[in-house]
Structure 1
């Protein structure tokens, strides 16, 4: 078999390091005297793998509310994964549920399946009808794998005969606080990069990624840039889980952590952490090298060494790690010459829906059969549509949505519908027609497809005002059917037929033809989409200004900020640049991400909204944000827009957005903090989804009580619009000016018509 490699792949020189085990000399043990007992040495405690208990609540697995099981929708499947470096020795299910008070205890129960194997049954308590109950059930750990399905099936009865399965008395509510309890222990994985990104990131783990990054000391700009690119790569892998990157200077993560944490260490020939001081074991390298080793104090924890001769080698090793992951193998990989990553185009982030062409639903799927449902009352199916926040959809005719769908022939077609919603807002309802209502052509196409299902399509326009940067397009098949009679004098029972519905993958949504134009500053766009830096997926138009003296909290803030942007756009920041010189930043035509405190040149600006760490240990100096103070306030000496100075001892941080004073159309987003405690507060806010949602406007103050956002100063605009649309858009905010322009246009038009008519009359008189 011939293996063809791309040029950049061929640049990776992969060398697997083999370690030969020393030969062992086997000696026959001495036979003890019959009276002497045989001494059995106890295994040292250090050799025992770490063991811990982990709880996975339903709320941690994506269930925002309690799970309601009904008579006709009586099953719920809960999916969860296990990391490859973990072994489960015991498992159990702790359920909190509330049954309907109308249930018959002896006939009603809850079946629990693990990977399609029945684990047990939980019955309804006879003495507590309609009250919350708690039950625990053992799960067989031998059935657990990388991906697992826990299925709950509700069997409910409210009468011994003539029951209606759709009766509202048949229900059981499972609390979102129910949990899967696992006793896990660490596994000693082989030192082979073929499993990368494991154990540093495992896609089966839904917990937030925490990956410590180790440096020899305070890193320079080159080391920080390489670590930032690596953090953005792992952030793109973590996605919705979130990622934390604690920075450690010349120290390793605690070996006694449960569960153990893998880490990444950066080292050059001249600067290396203390645990790499052994030159015989870790000799100098002559190029970029990636090496996987065990933690010096814990064989169940792995360390990834990113080594090189200088900072350029470190960056090249990180790029090889992000680009050539499928080719990695062995415990040690030497990286050859790598061509630069392909240049990106604006708005081509992998996590964003393309806006330059119609997009098939198949391109937006997260997993197969995502748009297929079955059951008498199937749950809605949907797609996530993430868009650039500056997409200009103001006052247009709508976004074309072409939907193709298939469904089982409903028993009651007059009342069966396909409901379409966008962001939980109703858009339209399409009739699910019966077989006798369809045309012959549809019958012919039905016969070609096979089966006895319907096939329809619909074109509609999505109101553009309902579209934002994060959107959820959902489809709900509502089948109406005639159920059996439950009357005692006319008791009829039948087996309900399962209904099926599917949205075809070839359905399309067309977002092409829209311009990009947006008012800034808008910290919500930064918090939710990384904008304006994410306009280029590789952050090639982004410059990060960092303090000259780096400390652990500042470096961790840098890594987690870049990791968060990578999670939002799904691509590593190969093109990001770093500097600690404001003069260089001021001359660079790029969007600026500022970390730390304002440079002196910006601090002296009179229009700066907030300043941190001036003469006091904790100082907040800015401008009053109240628009018009009252007369009493003026009498007391508080002038409008007066500067305010507040000295405090507790930690405080801020996020500020503003236009670059040197480059029109460029933005500055400043993450302001002074002391390590301020950086810790800032990191916590950026990692918490609720705090990120609270970031808005142009100024956000972060305190221990939460995030307070406000808009200060004048907005500016980025993007481009046609002149006529630009004029119309800005005039709508000034109705008086708009009326004056309209009146002037009418007068000018009337004058022009009058002049033309006079000219025509003069010509006719001259001919006469």
Structure 2
């Protein structure tokens, strides 16, 4: 079938093609090149970068809109710092060839305002359009971009859920380009209470942030303070990676409250200036210096460029500077509606063993409202999600059950096969019957879900009702207003008693939750060890620390960053360039510079011990086969002295102190920084796996494998350990059970024969 492109560029063209596009004519009076023209008039405006709708909606496939009347929506973020100058939606969609063209249409809406509408033609099922989105419709916050369809395949007695009633939006090919410019901060001076608006994940313009030290950090306290700033930035960006720069202050001709700071290297970047009072003296004006009387935070428009801001993090001592950085790192703490403050103390909640502020621990019931869920009413096609976070090393017996106690209200006059389906991580786990034809309010409806269905770390419990009308005959009026289900946020979930026990190394688990380094929620068991204090190495270490804080939703304020020896009881992440890396860092690692190795799926690396780590490893050494034994050759074999050039190497292993170590290294500090920036990007971070990963700086590809032996982490009793091994390797349990039954049968036969000979030896039978 030929593909006919239908392109809407100007309002008069749209009206000529579609006689019913009155709304499109109103809003599409300018061409799609309007943003470029605006850029010439407004030199401060940023170029519009096309972002796919799949990125906005976090989708991996097309958006399917099915039914006679349906709609799907996407949230489009716009920062309060930005002024929208223009936007263009490039839409690529296709529809069923069975639709009735005269009565089927697609309407595009922004915040409930129609900006375009199209006939869905069976003869031209491929739709491509460039739609100008009026700038005044895009407001600060999350805007709703909706695609609403009316789809018909016949004139009379139509089944509204017929399978031929569908339209798909290609979310990968469809893009939205928003042209914005940063608004000057002089009209509304920046406030500490509005730092979330200054460091905003919704910002479309580049968000470069420079951490500038008045004096280069040397001590562990100074290194930790810089790491706290990086965490505060990462937590405010929530799901975005920061374009972080680390620089030392340079004297020069500045301006405003920074008369002595050279601002040229800091062009087009927001600035976090950190240092003690005496080291800041050459850069700050006397009036600002006088107001630093403790742990000081102050935010101001950037001199010479009021579109950006400067945040001063200062104190009279290193401890006061650290306290100010700690206050900044707690993005959840409300700060005063002023541009300056001196903090005297910060009382942080004591953290237990649970990872993150949302992790479930213990056996007490958790209300869903405490997990971020709010009472909601669900209609046809609607759903709601509850986010649940379990400790990364959680383990319970196979028969352990998590109990979900639901409080809900169901509508009346629904068909008896209406149900509420429960999905855990997109897998169906249970259904609740909604069969009360007179309607009902149900309290404490208990649903048991096997704990083994949950993943360590983050989980999503989805509530997806299927609501069926009582009357569904053809040509009958279908009542749908009664198809309602309300789920209340005083519903609870309760976990069974669990143990903390698992196997490592596991880079996937590390990426999901930071385990085992975030076993204490404040990072009290984490040490990041550096081999140098240059700015690239510091940037790499702080970027990693910010990513770990992002994953658990709170700052690791007790984490240690050191160029010396990590503290007692801390597990180490080594961030260093390979040229100067001490040999001791590679003790227990599956690879070391200058050592020839053979790496392949299922093959032990050279130098590994032949002694099994435990009983299960011993069984595998006798009966196990390499992963490549089926086809006779390994998938991948690397033999020789591997080089680190243009790569970031990530390895997790048990070091000489029997603790977990994770090494991140590259050939030079510059390559270490670039590799770390690629690693913490969502597409690479979520792909970590095994115990060895390599990031290529040339192709931005990530390669993962498993080389070293696994080892056990946590405390567990002998009986529970048997249960753990049986759960992890059920075929071994079946073999042991079969062997035991065989031995029992043989022993029974022997005993019966002896009994017979003793008591019936002289019997002829």
Q: Tell me the SS of whatever aligns to 2:126.
A: coil
Counterpart for residue 717 of structure 2: 722
Counterpart for residue 551 of structure 2: 568
Structure 2 Cα separation of the partners of residues 318 and 649 of structure 1: 35
Taking the TM superposition and a 5 Å limit, the aligned residue runs for 1:189-204 are: 189=185, 190-202=188-200, 204=202
Q: Tell me the SS of whatever aligns to 2:102.
A: coil
Residue 401 of structure 2 corresponds to residue 398 of structure 1: yes
Counterpart for residue 296 of structure 2: 289
Residue 455 of structure 2 corresponds to residue 468 of structure 1: yes
Taking the TM superposition and a 5 Å limit, the aligned residue runs for 1:98-113 are: 98-113=94-109
- 1:233/1:322 contact within 8 Å kept: yes
Residue 455 of structure 2 corresponds to residue 455 of structure 1: no
Counterpart for residue 760 of structure 2: none
Taking the TM superposition and a 5 Å limit, the aligned residue runs for 1:132-143 are: 132-139=127-134, 141=136
Once the two structures are superposed, what CA deviation does each residue of 1:538-558 show, in whole Å capped at 9, x if it has no partner? 10122221123x223211111
Q: Structure 1 residues 61, 372: closer, same or farther in 2, change over 3 A?
A: farther
- 1:242/1:567 contact within 8 Å kept: no
Q: Structure 1 residues 247, 60: closer, same or farther in 2, change over 3 A?
A: same
- Which of 489, 494, 503 aligns to 1:505? It is 489
Q: Tell me the SS of whatever aligns to 2:641.
A: strand
Counterpart for residue 340 of structure 2: 332
Q: Tell me the SS of whatever aligns to 1:611.
A: coil
Deviation at 1:657, TM superposition (A): 1.6
- 1:621/1:643 contact within 8 Å kept: no
Once the two structures are superposed, what CA deviation does each residue of 1:619-647 show, in whole Å capped at 9, x if it has no partner? 676564562799xxxxxxxxxxx996426
- Which of 55, 80, 93 aligns to 1:97? It is 93
- 1:608/1:622 contact within 8 Å kept: no
Deviation at 1:532, TM superposition (A): 0.8
Give the TM-score of the pair, scaled to structure 1: 0.75
Residue 554 of structure 2 corresponds to residue 556 of structure 1: no
Q: Tell me the SS of whatever aligns to 2:309.
A: strand
Q: Tell me the SS of whatever aligns to 1:326.
A: coil
- 1:409/1:433 contact within 8 Å kept: no
Residue 663 of structure 2 corresponds to residue 670 of structure 1: yes
Counterpart for residue 577 of structure 1: 560
Residue 328 of structure 2 corresponds to residue 321 of structure 1: yes
Deviation at 1:321, TM superposition (A): 2.8
Deviation at 1:132, TM superposition (A): 3.0
- Which of 608, 633, 645 aligns to 2:589? It is 608
State the structure with more CA Rg. 1
Deviation at 1:241, TM superposition (A): 3.1
Deviation at 1:347, TM superposition (A): 0.5
Deviation at 1:656, TM superposition (A): 1.8
Counterpart for residue 263 of structure 1: 271
Q: Structure 1 residues 456, 198: closer, same or farther in 2, change over 3 A?
A: closer
Deviation at 1:169, TM superposition (A): 2.8
Counterpart for residue 83 of structure 1: 79
- Which of 216, 219, 224 aligns to 2:217? It is 219
Residue 570 of structure 2 corresponds to residue 590 of structure 1: yes
- 2:401/2:450 contact within 8 Å kept: yes
Residue 519 of structure 2 corresponds to residue 535 of structure 1: yes
Higher RCO, 1 vs 2 (CA within 8 Å, ≥6 residues apart): 1
- Which of 684, 687, 707 aligns to 1:712? It is 707
Counterpart for residue 515 of structure 1: 499
- 2:385/2:461 contact within 8 Å kept: yes
What is the aligned-residue RMSD (CA, Å)? 3.8
Q: Structure 1 residues 165, 667: closer, same or farther in 2, change over 3 A?
A: same
Structure 2 Cα separation of the partners of residues 222 and 175 of structure 1: 51
Deviation at 1:654, TM superposition (A): 1.5
Give the TM-score of the pair, scaled to structure 2: 0.76
- 1:102/1:130 contact within 8 Å kept: no
- 1:265/1:303 contact within 8 Å kept: yes
Taking the TM superposition and a 5 Å limit, the aligned residue runs for 1:10-49 are: 49=44
Deviation at 1:433, TM superposition (A): 0.5
